[in-house]
Amino acid sequence: MSETLERWGSKRAFILAVTGAAVGLGNIWRFPYVAGENGGAAFLLIYVGFVLLLGIPVMMAEILIGRAGRRGPIQALGALAMDAGASANWRWLGIFGAFTVFCILSFYSVVSGWSIEFLVASVNGQFSGATAAEIGAGFDAFLASPGLLIFNHSLFLFMTMTVVAAGVSKGLERLNNLLMPLLYGLLLLLAGYAATTDGFSTALAWLFLPSFEALTPTVVLHAMGHAFFTLAVGACALMAYGAYMPEDQSLPKAAVAVAALDISVALLAGIAIFSVVFAQGMDPAEGPGLMFVTLPIAFAELPGGVVWLSVFFLLLLLATWTSAINLAEPMVVTLQGLGCRRSIATAIVALSVWLMGLLSAFSFSTLADFRPLFGRNVFELVSSIPPDVFLPLGGLMIAIFAAWVMPRTTAMQALGAGEGGYLLWRNVVRWVSIPLTFIVLLGGLL
Ligand code: PFF
């Protein structure tokens, strides 16, 4: 396939697109419950450390490869490896990335579907006046209805794939430009509301005063996996976005801006969620149901709570939408590279992800006891192993490719930060990011 001619319309559009990819379930759903289960502030501290030492440098590596290759990830890796005189097997890294985004999008779409259901329920006032027991039982009953899960999964995937089919500037860029500022505004509003509740100071203390008793190698692995997941790094998905990057943009500046926005969204969402949870004296370590059970219960009792709850689910939906289009893009552009029209490529990806998502949707009912690996069912498998293991592993290989395999001139030009900036970045990746990812991955797995 020849080089892609598409470009993001502006530097701002690129930053918004990457932020749209980064900000999603990871910030609003996964961060609060994983932090809740892993000791709050201690987890936060380690995860921010990983974002700085691994997330940002590896994000630059990933985007840089896409920008230098100007093609879909698999084709870009193949072409750049050839240019560098390295093995064409580097293409497998792109294939592994495609497998990773495929797994992630399959459960992502199901969970995002929950936010559609809950948004509608909340707007319809179904939570007002409901007791905690009723809300808890309602969530369990919802999960046990595969028909409802599949309906919402299909709807979400349809929303996603329609945008992807419309293409980079008419689809992806337009949606991100519209939704990202709206999302941030809504979140600020919500955090402002949280500050007026009784739980605000407890939430701040819980999020920002670390205690390190709960810290184990597994927690550290979770924190690293989360750093990759939340920044959308390690699956070659940002590589696809890098291919459309404007010529004259500085990549380090963009990466730092995205990481700052991403962390701030997680913090604001955490403050909003835990303030409300603590205001009602509830348990922060509720697990994946945190947003969907604890929050409706907590909001149901606060004045004006139902309106704010609806805002929350809307926020979650918008955030996941822009991430899902990023998860789909590398698969679509790869098929395009094989000669498919974009519309056909989108349809093929949509159908296969939809089918795979069914396994997740049924994991809460019919297939609850189908546990093919490690005693986990399909939903548990695809929502833990790709984020915690595949992304760091993919990130490691991406970093090795960009910092060791790619010729200096090509990489330096694609980074867009001059020679000094390039050498600084390369040293950090070579001597900090790569060894650290390797050690944590190994330690966590053993
Ligand atoms: N960053 C997204 C989130 O936090 O929800 C998830 C994600 C998107 C992970 C794209 C990986 C990816 F390639």
Question: Range with the lowest mean pLDDT among 42-46, 65-69, 253-257, 440-444?
Answer: 440-444
CATH classification of the domain holding 316: 1.20.1740.10
* Residue 102 lies inside a defined structural domain of this protein: yes
Rounded (10°) CA dihedral 34, 39, 40, 43: -70
**135 has pLDDT over 60:** yes
- Ligand 1: nearest atom to the Cα of 391: 11
Task: List the one residue out of 207, 117, 109 whose CA is nearest residue 154.
Answer: 109
- Residue 302's pLDDT band (boundaries 50, 70, 90)? confident
Question: Range with the lowest mean pLDDT among 57-66, 132-141, 229-238, 280-289?
Answer: 280-289
End-to-end CA separation in angstroms for the chain = 41
pLDDT in tens, 73-92: 999 999 999 999 999 999 99
Average pLDDT (385-414) is 95
The rounded distance, in Å, linking the Cα atoms of 254 and 258 is 6
In percent, how much of the chain has pLDDT > 90? Answer: 61
- Judge contact between 170 and 122, C-beta under 8 A: no
Instruction: Centre a 10 Å sphere on the Cβ of residue 92 and count the other Cβ atoms it contains.
Output: 14
- Residue 2's pLDDT band (boundaries 50, 70, 90)? low
Question: Range with the lowest mean pLDDT among 124-128, 300-304, 438-442?
Answer: 300-304
State how far the alpha carbon of 340 is from the alpha carbons of 97, 189, 334, in Å.
Answer: 20, 44, 9
| CB-based burial label for 7 (10 Å; 0-12, 13-18, 19+) | middle
* Ligand 1 mutation target, pool 326, 329, 349, 385, most atoms within 8 A of CB: 326
pLDDT value of residue 190:
86
Taking the centre of ligand 1 as the mean of its atom positions, its distance from the CA of residue 14, in whole angstroms, is 16
Instruction: Centre a 10 Å sphere on the Cβ of residue 349 and count the other Cβ atoms it contains.
Output: 28
* Residue 1 lies inside a defined structural domain of this protein: no
* Kind and range of the H or E run holding 114: helix 91-123
Taking the centre of ligand 1 as the mean of its atom positions, its distance from the CA of residue 302, in whole angstroms, is 32
SS3 state of residue 402: helix
Q: Regarding predicted confidence, which is higher, 96 or 306? A: 96
Residue 434: both structure tokens together:
């790569």
Query: Please, how many CA atoms are within 13 Å of residue 66, restricted to the half-sphere of its CB?
Result: 31
DSSP assignment, residue 249? -
* Residue 2 lies inside a defined structural domain of this protein: no
361 contact partners, CB below 8 Å, separation of at least 6: 110, 146, 149, 150, 153
325 contact partners, CB below 8 Å, separation of at least 6: 20, 160, 163, 164, 171, 172, 175
- Radius of gyration, CA atoms only, the chain: 21
The rounded distance, in Å, linking the Cα atoms of 23 and 259 is 10
Taking the centre of ligand 1 as the mean of its atom positions, its distance from the CA of residue 375, in whole angstroms, is 25
The rounded distance, in Å, linking the Cα atoms of 382 and 106 is 8
Taking the centre of ligand 1 as the mean of its atom positions, its distance from the CA of residue 20, in whole angstroms, is 9
Residues touching ligand 1 (Cβ under 6 Å) are 21-22, 24-27, 101, 104, 229-230, 232, 235, 237, 323, 326-327
* Residue 163 lies inside a defined structural domain of this protein: yes
* Residue 137 lies inside a defined structural domain of this protein: yes
The rounded distance, in Å, linking the Cα atoms of 64 and 251 is 8
269 contact partners, CB below 8 Å, separation of at least 6: 27, 28, 31, 32, 187
- Residue 300's pLDDT band (boundaries 50, 70, 90)? confident
* Ligand 1 mutation target, pool 318, 322, 327, 389, most atoms within 8 A of CB: 327
pLDDT value of residue 34:
82
SS3 state of residue 373: strand
Taking the centre of ligand 1 as the mean of its atom positions, its distance from the CA of residue 65, in whole angstroms, is 18
* Residue 266 lies inside a defined structural domain of this protein: yes
- SS3 assignment for 205-241: HHHHCCCCCCCCHHHHHHHHHHHHHHHCCCCCHHHHH
In the chain, the number of structural domains is 1
Q: Regarding predicted confidence, which is higher, 443 or 307? A: 307
Residue indicated by tokens 């609850």: 368
String of DSSP letters for 133-180: HHHHHHHHHHHT-HHHHHHHHHHHHHHHHHHHHT-IIIIIIHHHHHHH
Taking the centre of ligand 1 as the mean of its atom positions, its distance from the CA of residue 322, in whole angstroms, is 10
The rounded distance, in Å, linking the Cα atoms of 89 and 294 is 47
* Residue 6 lies inside a defined structural domain of this protein: no
- Residue 42's pLDDT band (boundaries 50, 70, 90)? confident
pLDDT in tens, 336-352: 888 999 999 999 999 99
* Kind and range of the H or E run holding 350: helix 342-361
**4 has pLDDT over 70:** no
- Residue 430's pLDDT band (boundaries 50, 70, 90)? very high
Query: Please, how many CA atoms are within 13 Å of residue 223, restricted to the half-sphere of its CB?
Result: 29
Model's pTM, two decimal places?
A: 0.93
Average pLDDT (168-176) is 88
Residue type, 131: T
Residue indicated by tokens 């960009």: 402
Q: Which protein residue's CA is at the shortest distance from atom 12 of ligand 1?
A: 232
CA dihedral sign, ordered 50, 318, 161, 244:
negative
**259 has pLDDT over 90:** yes
The rounded distance, in Å, linking the Cα atoms of 335 and 289 is 36
State how far the alpha carbon of 144 is from the alpha carbons of 97, 295, 403, in Å.
Answer: 32, 20, 48
* Residue 33 lies inside a defined structural domain of this protein: yes
pLDDT value of residue 1:
46
Which residues constitute the domain of residue 120?
11-445
